[in-house]
Structure 1
Amino acid sequence: MSPPTHTAAVQNIYEEHHTWLQGWLKGKLHNACDAADVAHDTFVRILGGRHASQILEPRDYLATIARGLVIDRYRRHTIEQAYKEALAERPEPTVVSEEDRAIIIETLTAVDKALHGLGARARRIFMLSQFEGLTYQQIADQLQVSLTTVKKHMIRAFTECSLILASS
């Protein structure tokens, strides 16, 4: 008998483990709607892959993907909250269309993802430069590193952000 096709393997995993995954997520998220959304996104992720027929431990695999999606969801929620707070602090009321808001949140989420891919020092240097407004020399002095180190980390941070934004 030939191995199942990718789509057939995903369907089989879905039929055997979807209820379990949704229940497991409901226990983690304490919300049936969020659990259903993440379970759905988990299977979409698997469907977008190529090797579902090679998955040996479906529940472990599903849980790993779902954990990552839950983390992404929390990060996105945190970013949305920070964005709303930043808008509320503006002196003049700012009206942003839902489409623009979605684009802004997606962009902020992509930048956040890029920054989390950096090491702690590179991330700190980037934050000091872009959010605190410090010069490279001030950052070097504050962190007691060389100016060359600051420049190197800034180039890396900008490169990562550019790559993430270009692929969005």
Structure 2
Amino acid sequence: MSHATASPDSVARLYAGHHGWLVGWLRLKLGCQQQAADLAHDTFLRILGARQAALAELREPRAYLTAVARGLVVDQYRRRDLERAYLEALAAEPEQFAPSPEQRQLVLEALMEMDRLLQGLSARARAAWLYSRLDGLPHAEIAALLGVSVPRVRQYLAKVARQCYELRFGKVE
């Protein structure tokens, strides 16, 4: 099975055969026609840019589309939660320290990128990284907070570093 980027022709066929159905499915899930149309569009863009097996060989194209779209819906909710938490944190700060709209956008983009980098890691690995990088805690304190050994904390941090490296530069063979 090939792992090349999906061909525009195969995505076009998938789009022609299932776009309307996907928009309808998303509309039922989200309750909003515009959001459904946007996420259906994003679903096909994701498929077009993804490295994957040939789309012509798909036995269940709607199941595949549903899986991709569900991931995008989860991403959308996660982005909203991050943005809400950031804005709540800003509201708690004195007004003179409020960032400009441009700075706010840059911070939100950085938060989204950090969230993307940490996806797929265990809760403890994410927590270890956040304690280390954001709170500046030493390994021994992180180990005590997580109820694990110091070498285990080092393993978590190495795993996060490896994942970040692979996302940035590709898998190390």
Contact 1:46 1:52 in 2 (8 A): no
Q: Whole-Å Cα distance in 2 between the matches of residues 55 and 83 of structure 1?
A: 41
Counterpart in the other structure of 2:115: 112
Counterpart in the other structure of 2:35: 34
Partner secondary structure for residue 95 of structure 1:
coil
TM-score (norm. length: structure 1): 0.80
CA RMSD of aligned residues (A): 2.5
Counterpart in the other structure of 2:69: 66
Give the Å deviation of 1:163: 5.2
Give the Å deviation of 1:154: 2.3
The runs of 5 or more residues in structure 1 that have no matched partner are: none
Counterpart in the other structure of 1:75: 78
TM-score (norm. length: structure 2): 0.78
Q: For residues 113-152 of structure 1, what are the structure 2 equivalents within 5 Å? A: 113-152=116-155
Give the Å deviation of 1:162: 5.6
Distance 1:17 1:143, change over 3 A: closer
Equivalent pairs counted in the alignment come to: 161
Partner secondary structure for residue 59 of structure 2:
coil
- % identical equivalent positions: 42
Give the Å deviation of 1:132: 5.0
Question: Could you list the per-position Cα deviations for residues 49-86 of structure 1 after superposition, in whole angstroms to 9, with x for gaps in the alignment?
Answer: 46232222221111111011111111111111111112
Q: Whole-Å Cα distance in 2 between the matches of residues 60 and 103 of structure 1?
A: 35
Q: Whole-Å Cα distance in 2 between the matches of residues 144 and 11 of structure 1?
A: 51
Question: Could you list the per-position Cα deviations for residues 104-159 of structure 1 after superposition, in whole angstroms to 9, with x for gaps in the alignment?
Answer: 22221121122232222212322333455543222223333222222232233344
Counterpart in the other structure of 1:95: 99
Partner secondary structure for residue 112 of structure 1:
helix
Contact 1:139 1:150 in 2 (8 A): yes
